[in-house]
Structure 1
Amino acid sequence: MLKYLLDLFLFTSLFIAGCALMMVIQTNQLLHLQYNHVAYLVFVFFSTLCSYNFHWYLSGDATSENARIRWTQHHKTLHLALTSIGTIVSVWYFFQFIEHWIWLAGAVFLTFLYSAPKLQYGPFARLSKIAVGKTLFLAFVWMYVTTFLPIAIDDHHWNMTTVLFCTSRFTLIYAICIIFDYRDRDYDKLSGIRSMITYFDERGINNLFAASLAGFALSTLALYFYELSPLTIVLLLIPGVITAVLYPVAKKNFSDYLYYFVLDGLMMFSSLLTIFIPNK
């Protein structure tokens, strides 16, 4: 029963939607953003639920998966239902921020574009052949929705702190995405999906991962000079340290639970830590 509930929580994307929620909460807290937080959190949760269930509904042949693909193949109807629910709720809340429609439309377009190659017909099928930067693209979408977009809606906190915070979050997510792409590289090669990970050799992938974590460390440390406290900086750095430690493990252990619970969870892990510190 516990395994069934865990699979339901992870594979319906409730967990990853919750991660997105926590990341937005952290952005609001650390950058002191003032806007309709609750409405935006609902929008992010259900739009994430929609996009991920749509993605997995189309991903039944990804041979690099194990438990998740077996689960997906038996729960197509549930994926479709959650996609529909997510679409209805996120569209409703889209109109709560209609004055910022151009920023929101960018998020919707980028999110759809990531899953579009899986439609396998017309111009969408050709996207997989040209999406060399798909890892960069996914990391950018996550940073855009959980960090840049709240700042854009607030529109009063454009400064070096926000630039560094966006950079810090993007580079950490990118490092985690590299690990996912490393696991999927054989499937991507067979499917004709292009990415930097399919082009690079082992040493090149290691260097790319190290460069991403270095960018994360530098941008996060630089936040010390722009408003954030030493304790906050330390807490923000913790997921990067854990990601570095897990990198050699995750290159050999392709467990879905390691990837979809531990690695995905690292994106929002510092949010669980900073939420308990004073907002300064």
Structure 2
Amino acid sequence: MPLSSPKTPSGPPTASAMVGGTWLAVLRRWTDAVLYSSMWLALAALALTWATFLFWRVDIPVRLALMIFTATLFLYNIDSVLPYKHRQPVVLSGRKRWMLEHRRELLALALASLAVAGLLFFLDGWQHLTLFLGHLAAISLLYSMPVVKVRGHWRALRDLPLLKVFLIGYVWAAITVWVPALYLDKPLLGPVVFLLFARRFFFILALAFVFDIRDYTKDQLTGTRTFPGLFGVRATKYIALASLAAGSVLFPAGIGYAHMLILAVPIIVAALTIWYAEESRPDYYFALLTDGVMILQFVAVYVVRW
């Protein structure tokens, strides 16, 4: 009679397994909330702004930091709850499903963030920069709102051919470099500020291409002509890497080789993130890793300057 193979014990899950599963579920819910409510992205905006202050060896003012953080929260969350976006023929990812399920909470967070940012704007006397900050807010708001009619269809700024990555690069560089420069009375067109702006622009532009790759199918369905749609994903990666390389050589004067090596770390991580970007990657690849490269940029500057 042949020997029977040992059977794996079966039965209800153990208490430790249930506790572990519960903690993982809680961790997943909180991670989704932080990432998909744009809190992680707002932290990245704050981190890059702080990095610019660190270049001039100045601590970022707490109230300005809060204004940048809440303004970013408002702009990205108000964008995510726009009604017309949810009528588009798109493939729903886990991120999109989460946003649909939490539209009320995202709207409440957006309005609360607007209230805080607006209050700080008036209390701290930024009114003289209303025109400058207003044009950045206008670009951000009109980025996803239908503003121009093309061939019988209303289009947002992001829908204009090949434009959206440059809009993202410009607005992020302006907020995270020009706002600190204005606060410190630095000339926006001065050589140092211009170099920092260009370096930040090319860095953000390179990362923006990654999100074009993520949105490849959605942009195809909605008729948005992006770099991956017109030139292909592989060509887009090469363009993104070229942008990253262009920004990486723009080092301010006086940076030593050891510091250059530290500052190269986020550039290398960004390059790897770009190269391995695929539309099929999980949502965390884009929301956590790609946005996290911006926070890594701050960490590198913090280590170099302190």
Using the size of structure 1 for normalisation, the TM-score is 0.87
User: 2:134 — aligned with what?
Assistant: 105
Higher relative contact order (CA 8 A, sep 6+): 1
User: 1:8 — aligned with what?
Assistant: 33
Runs of 4+ deviating beyond 6 Å: none
* Between 52-61 and 259-268, the greater mean CA deviation after superposition: 52-61
- Asked if 1:45 is matched to 2:69, the reply is yes
Question: Is the 1:139–1:177 contact (alpha carbons within 8 Å) kept by the matching residues of 2?
Answer: yes
Unaligned stretches of 5+ residues in structure 1: none
* SS of corresponding position for 2:145: helix
Q: What is the CA–CA distance in structure 2 between the aligned matches of 1:99 and 1:275, rounded to whole Å?
A: 31
User: 2:257 — aligned with what?
Assistant: 230
Give how far 1:264 is off. 0.6
Taking a change above 3 Å as real, the CA distance of residues 202 and 100 of structure 1, as seen in their structure-2 partners, is: closer
Question: Is the 2:35–2:41 contact (alpha carbons within 8 Å) kept by the matching residues of 1?
Answer: yes
Taking a change above 3 Å as real, the CA distance of residues 137 and 64 of structure 1, as seen in their structure-2 partners, is: farther
* SS of corresponding position for 2:43: helix
Name which of 174, 177, 182 aligns with 2:205: 174
- Asked if 1:116 is matched to 2:140, the reply is no
- Asked if 1:137 is matched to 2:167, the reply is yes
Question: Is the 2:47–2:294 contact (alpha carbons within 8 Å) kept by the matching residues of 1?
Answer: no
User: 2:179 — aligned with what?
Assistant: 149
* SS of corresponding position for 1:275: helix
* SS of corresponding position for 1:115: coil
Give how far 1:104 is off. 1.5
Structure exhibiting the larger radius of gyration computed from Cα positions:
2
Q: Which has the higher helix share?
A: 1
Give how far 1:119 is off. 11
User: 1:241 — aligned with what?
Assistant: 268
- Amino acid in the other structure paired with 1:27: T
* SS of corresponding position for 2:90: coil
Question: Is the 2:209–2:240 contact (alpha carbons within 8 Å) kept by the matching residues of 1?
Answer: yes
* Residue-pair matches, total: 272
Question: Is the 1:64–1:183 contact (alpha carbons within 8 Å) kept by the matching residues of 2?
Answer: no
Question: Is the 2:34–2:40 contact (alpha carbons within 8 Å) kept by the matching residues of 1?
Answer: yes
- Amino acid in the other structure paired with 1:135: V
Taking a change above 3 Å as real, the CA distance of residues 248 and 206 of structure 1, as seen in their structure-2 partners, is: closer
- Amino acid in the other structure paired with 1:38: V
- Asked if 1:218 is matched to 2:249, the reply is yes
Give how far 1:76 is off. 0.7
Q: What is the CA–CA distance in structure 2 between the aligned matches of 1:267 and 1:124, rounded to whole Å?
A: 35
Give how far 1:188 is off. 0.7
* SS of corresponding position for 1:108: helix
Give how far 1:19 is off. 1.0
User: 1:86 — aligned with what?
Assistant: 113
- Amino acid in the other structure paired with 1:23: L
* SS of corresponding position for 1:135: helix
- Asked if 1:261 is matched to 2:288, the reply is yes
Question: Is the 2:159–2:223 contact (alpha carbons within 8 Å) kept by the matching residues of 1?
Answer: yes
Question: Is the 1:16–1:264 contact (alpha carbons within 8 Å) kept by the matching residues of 2?
Answer: yes
* Between 91-100 and 169-178, the greater mean CA deviation after superposition: 91-100
Q: What is the CA–CA distance in structure 1 between the aligned matches of 2:277 and 2:112, rounded to whole Å?
A: 33
Q: What is the root-mean-square deviation in Å for CA atoms of aligned residues?
A: 2.6
- Amino acid in the other structure paired with 1:160: P
Q: What is the CA–CA distance in structure 2 between the aligned matches of 1:247 and 1:274, rounded to whole Å?
A: 21
- Amino acid in the other structure paired with 1:126: R
- Amino acid in the other structure paired with 2:192: T
Aligned-residue identity in percent: 24
Question: Is the 1:33–1:157 contact (alpha carbons within 8 Å) kept by the matching residues of 2?
Answer: no
Q: What is the CA–CA distance in structure 1 between the aligned matches of 2:187 and 2:61, rounded to whole Å?
A: 15
Give how far 1:252 is off. 5.5
- Asked if 1:126 is matched to 2:150, the reply is no
User: 2:23 — aligned with what?
Assistant: none
